Amino acid sequence: AKQNLERAEQEKERAEQSEKFKQQFLANMSHEIRTPLNAIKGMTLMLLKENQSEQQKKNLDIIRRSTDNLIVIINDILDLSKIEAGKLELENIDFSLQHTLDNVYELLRFKAVEKGIGFSVHTSQQVPKALKGDPVRLGQVLMNLAGNAIKFTEKGSVTITAELLATENNSSTVEISVIDTGIGIAEDQIGKVFESFSQAGKDTYRKFGGTGLGLTISKSLVEMMHGKIQLRSKYGEGTTFFFSITLPNGDESKLENDSSAESDIPKLKDIRILLFEDNLFNQIVAQQTLNSLIEGLKLEIAENGLIGIDKLKAADYDILLMDIQMPEMDGYEATKKIREEGGEKKDIAIMAMTANATKEEIQKCIASGMNDYITKPFEPNDLLRKIHKLILKKN
């Protein structure tokens, strides 16, 4: 009995060690893929701003969308491994369900237009304006469900609906449905659609592509929200995926304003930035991106933390943009050193620009003394908003 217990302990230890290696390997792979992706996406966005022929614009747009698709695949693999390891945690913040749905609509609308199918969102007026939960993960579920629906619908339409089912104890139960008039799912395949790497048949995969992880992740996320995804489908006629979740009612006054509108993009002028970045291509991307966003920009580049700290001692800057993985001295160490030994400059705004997209890495950035972070590859306007916000705070 003692031997069995020892063997069980050893096996448990081995399994935990193996899981740890897997998580580390995936995090490293994610970083290594995101770093060149940042350069590809950044350069593509720069070229799209220049005077190109219509054909060149189309070609560049294909590159841009392909990088976005690759990011989704990387995120799916990371998320699934986190879910399997029980490491994924949900946020609990005030959010607008309508805003989350509108965001999904805006991100997927062009795909529906390209296919010549209808795409719409309908929210019942009874649904509270503010709820409390994880809008990013809920948005991810809806992106997966609606993205699949558009992918598998050749004619007709895709509709997202949100209905209020009940209110009790200052909480609301909302049912969200994604309805399509697509190819439908054969009866013998319905039970398999939520399995990892399943796409209800190899022929479907060949025709429509995709990793087959989206529904597995969505099912797990909804279950973490104490809900359950269900589906009704008729082969050749269409499918409805639906789930209900109960969330506490939120505080409307705490909702963030929608800052995605073009008119809300801040104007910045004469800003002094010190960029900590060792990758040459990403230096060029950051330089060109920032020059296009900020009039009268003064930008200095440091290849590692040691050089950056010397530059900071010698000159004044408004903000530091900090890569994490650098030779000689990494971003965490450089930030800690600035916060502890920076004298009158110790409170300067520092933003991480990291290819490590995991929650643990982001928490580590904040714990080391950084004020904010942006993950690579980033959208230029997101970078501009974050710089603007930090500079306003410091002033």
Asked whether the predicted pLDDT for residue 18 surpasses 70, the reply is: yes
- The whole-number pLDDT of residue 352 equals 93
Three-class DSSP category at 239: strand
Q: How far is CA 319 from the centre of its chain?
A: 24
pLDDT recorded at residue 257:
58
What is the pLDDT averaged over residues 185-190?
Answer: 82
SS3 assignment, position 131: strand
Is pLDDT above 60 for 65? yes
- Domain map (residue ranges) of the chain: 2-84, 97-254, 262-394
- Nearest 5°: CA angle at 209, between 116 and 54? 50
pLDDT at 338: 93
Cis peptide upstream of residue 327 (ω within 30 degrees of 0): no
Q: Which residues contact 194 (CB under 8 A, 6 or more apart)?
A: 215, 216, 219, 229
pLDDT of residue 132 exceeding 90, the answer is yes
Lowest mean pLDDT among 35-39, 129-133, 217-221, 264-268: 264-268
Residue-level pLDDT at 308: 93
Tally the C-alpha atoms within 13 A of residue 106's C-alpha that lie toward its C-beta.
10
Q: Tell me how far CA of residue 268 lies from CA of 45, 274, 289, 393, in angstroms.
A: 20, 16, 13, 14
Neighbour count for residue 185 (Cβ, 10 Å): 22
**Cα(207)–Cα(174) distance, integer angstroms:** 34
- The upper half-sphere exposure of residue 7, i.e. CA atoms within 13 Å in the direction of its Cβ, equals 4
**Mean pLDDT of all residues in 176-198:** 81
pLDDT in tens, 237-290: 899 999 999 999 999 888 865 444 444 667 788 899 999 999 888 899 889 899
Grade residue 179 by pLDDT with cuts at 50, 70 and 90. very high
In CATH terms, the superfamily for domain 97-254 is: Histidine kinase-like ATPase, C-terminal domain (3.30.565.10)
Confidence of residue 302 (pLDDT cuts 50, 70, 90): very high
Query: Residue 302's closest CA among 291, 313, 294, 292?
Result: 313
For the domain covering 2-84, report its CATH number.
1.10.287.130
**What is the mean pLDDT of the segment spanning 202-209?**
43
**CA 167: distance to chain centroid?**
31
For residue 201, what pLDDT is reported? 46
Read off the pLDDT of each residue in 109-124 and give the average, rounded to a whole number.
Answer: 93
Look up residue 332 and give its two tokens. Answer: 């965490």
Please state the separation of Cα 178 from the chain's center in Å: 21
- The confidence score (pLDDT) of residue 150 equals 93
- Model pLDDT, residue 212: 66
pLDDT at 197 over 80: no
Residue with tokens 């409805």: 240
pLDDT at 173: 96
CATH number of 262-394: 3.40.50.2300
Higher-pLDDT residue of 338, 259: 338
* Contacts with 92 (C-beta within 8 Å, 6 or more apart), sequence order: 132, 133, 134
pLDDT at 211 over 60: no
pLDDT in tens, 133-149: 999 899 999 999 999 89
User: 338 phi and psi, to 5 degrees?
Assistant: -65, -45
pLDDT at 260: 47
The pLDDT of residue 209: 46
Estimate to the nearest angstrom the gap between the alpha carbon of 171 and the chain centroid.
Answer: 27
Q: Enumerate residues 6+ apart whose C-beta is below 8 A from 111.
A: 147, 150, 151
Give the 3-state secondary structure of 159-190.
EEEEEEEEEECCEEEEEEEEEECCCCCCHHHH
For position 262, what pLDDT does the model report? 47
What is the reported pTM?
0.70
10 compared with 202, residue with greater pLDDT: 10
Mean pLDDT in the chain?
85
